[in-house]
Structure 1
Amino acid sequence: MRRLPLFLFSLPALLTLGVFILYPFLDVIRFSTWDWSGLSEPKPVGLKNYRDLFQDPAFWGSLWVTLKFMLLALPLFVGLSIALAVALEGAPYERFAKSLLFLPGLVTLGGATLSWYTLFTPEYGALAQFLTIPPWDREGFWALVMVVLFTLWRHLGYGVLVASARLKAIPKSLLEAAYVDGAGPLEAFRYIVLPLMRPAVAFLVVVGTILSLQSYSAVFLLTRGGPYGATRVLGYYLYESGFENFRLGYAAAVTVVILLLTLLFAYAQLRLLRHGEE
């Protein structure tokens, strides 16, 4: 009976989650058992879409591209967020610099990609007149690097704000005591600041993992999965399956797999970070 008021107060939030998250997810699972183009009559096929998915070389290729994207983007996202937050802490231009870093996330995605094309296209970009721009429109490695840089540019400001919020919660007396005991800036950061920022690091790792595994928009607008499939991440493979090949049931199966992979990676990373605290 004591828990009844708590349940009643949380009921609106639970209903919202059920209607907008749980129900659509269950519907996607149902769609994944259909052979359906969106226009034809759906035909139940059981787990055939999943069998076809795991036997499709294109799926494994897109999974490998996604993992490479995550290995490039995730350490940079977390590391730069913490480094910039520490560097800007207490600076007279701190708020101005953070607002500039956060500004790209407020720009519409279409406008942002158009500006990057205008600046960084190797043949006729504005910066190509002054700098050597790698041929990212023809070489797969540089195309992936371009997508990673664009993603960091869009989301780094958010990561800096998260890291900075945690950094400001660290008592200054701890750092002052460390300096009195003879610790230098590097020792204070390694033994005091970094351990106390572990919750923010865990949050940034999970957010970065979700951004990496569910990345799609930047690839769609910058490279369209090319060149030669070098940037065909799972999100773009999902788009191709559902809206270019009109295999919506198969695309629903891809959606379920992406969600399960995201949950698996996020859970494993949280476990590792919590294990490091013990």
Structure 2
Amino acid sequence: MRKKLPLLLFSLPALLPLLLFVLYPFLEVVRFSTWDWSGLSEPRPVGLKNYQTLFQDPAFWKSLLVTLGFMLLALPPFLALSLVLAVVLDGLPYERLAKSLLFLPGLVTLGGATLSWYTLFTPEYGALAQFLPIPPWDREGFWALLMVVLFTLWRHLGYGVLVASARLKAIPKTLLEAAYVDGAGPLEAFRYVVLPLMRPAVAFLLVVGTILSLQSYAAVFLLTRGGPYGATRVLGYYLYEAGFENFRLGYAAAITVVLLVLTLLFAYAQLRLLRHGDGEA
């Protein structure tokens, strides 16, 4: 204990904000989830009734399916484009400029970005609708969900490219040179040398992308408001409706806990899968 005490003392400046701003709010949300509370009325303890109601609510299951569909549409392109663009841009004269342009959408305020997209891509009167066939994403559910996916990729792809590029720079060039000397082409070198060594970056982007997908809310709120006909009502937006439109804060807290548990389960399963692949390699 004497040896560990200095380590504990030095870690306190980092642990205290974590306990104060992460653990304590989470415990409070868990406590709120056992209340029947509108935010204005007196809280009434109901135990696990909110969870029972949640798992019997068809709207919750529909929102969960929409969220999983959003993740399946957004996550594979995010990973693939991040890796491919990092490899393609590596070593080019305009590499830094291209990465800066890719990262720039993430620096634009979310409200301004969604307003720009809405102005450009509205099927009836959008600026690009005069020149391109814009699908009716404001009336058809699939196109609305695809629009949210494209907007999310546009905002976060630059971050994925930077993470993949940082890992790519750490791969020794001698390994690639040895592969080329042994007769490997560019595709073989990427498949058997670069891709296995990119596994830590892939794992990180997979977990980050899953968290972004499961907890997506802002783009849906600003672009589609969960429509049309609930086709883009992801769990984050369903939580907002329950808590701040229907004033069921206890029920919304239960949704928050379930969403956090799902996020942790998905992230843990992905990390286990990737570590298992490392063991086999």
Q: Same fold (TM over 0.5)?
A: yes
Letter in 2 for 1:166: R
Give the structure 2 partner of residue 227 of structure 1.
Answer: 228
- Alpha-carbon shift at residue 268 of structure 1 (Å): 0.2
Letter in 2 for 1:247: R
Alignment size in residue pairs:
278
Secondary structure, in 3 states, of the residue corresponding to 2:93? coil
- The CA distance in 2 between the partners of 1:15 and 1:108, in whole Å, is 30
Matched, 1:5 2:6: yes
Matched, 1:111 2:112: yes
- Alpha-carbon shift at residue 12 of structure 1 (Å): 1.4
Give the structure 1 partner of residue 246 of structure 2.
Answer: 245
Matched, 1:257 2:258: yes
Give the structure 2 partner of residue 159 of structure 1.
Answer: 160
- The CA distance in 1 between the partners of 2:124 and 2:84, in whole Å, is 34
- Alpha-carbon shift at residue 14 of structure 1 (Å): 1.0
1:95-138 residue CA offsets vs partner (Å, 9 max, x unmatched): 00000000000000010001001110011111111100000000
- The CA distance in 1 between the partners of 2:11 and 2:227, in whole Å, is 46
Letter in 2 for 1:155: H
- The CA distance in 1 between the partners of 2:184 and 2:77, in whole Å, is 27
- Alpha-carbon shift at residue 11 of structure 1 (Å): 1.2
Q: TM-score, normalised by structure 2?
A: 0.98
- The CA distance in 2 between the partners of 1:138 and 1:31, in whole Å, is 37
- Alpha-carbon shift at residue 243 of structure 1 (Å): 0.3
- Alpha-carbon shift at residue 3 of structure 1 (Å): 1.2
- The CA distance in 1 between the partners of 2:260 and 2:27, in whole Å, is 12
- The CA distance in 2 between the partners of 1:67 and 1:114, in whole Å, is 26
Give the structure 2 partner of residue 28 of structure 1.
Answer: 29
- The CA distance in 2 between the partners of 1:259 and 1:80, in whole Å, is 27
- Alpha-carbon shift at residue 177 of structure 1 (Å): 0.5
- The CA distance in 1 between the partners of 2:142 and 2:236, in whole Å, is 18
1:154-204 residue CA offsets vs partner (Å, 9 max, x unmatched): 000000000000000000000001001100000000000000000000000
Secondary structure, in 3 states, of the residue corresponding to 2:51? helix
Instruction: Give the share of equivalent positions with the same residue, in percent.
Output: 87
- The CA distance in 1 between the partners of 2:144 and 2:92, in whole Å, is 36
Give the structure 2 partner of residue 266 of structure 1.
Answer: 267
Which blocks of at least 5 consecutive residues in structure 1 are unaligned?
Answer: none
- Alpha-carbon shift at residue 267 of structure 1 (Å): 0.2
RMSD: 0.4
Secondary structure, in 3 states, of the residue corresponding to 1:195? helix
Q: TM-score, normalised by structure 1?
A: 1.00
Letter in 1 for 2:111: G
Q: After the TM superposition, which parts of structure 1 deviate over 4 Å for at least 4 consecutive aligned residues?
A: none
Which blocks of at least 5 consecutive residues in structure 2 are unaligned?
Answer: none
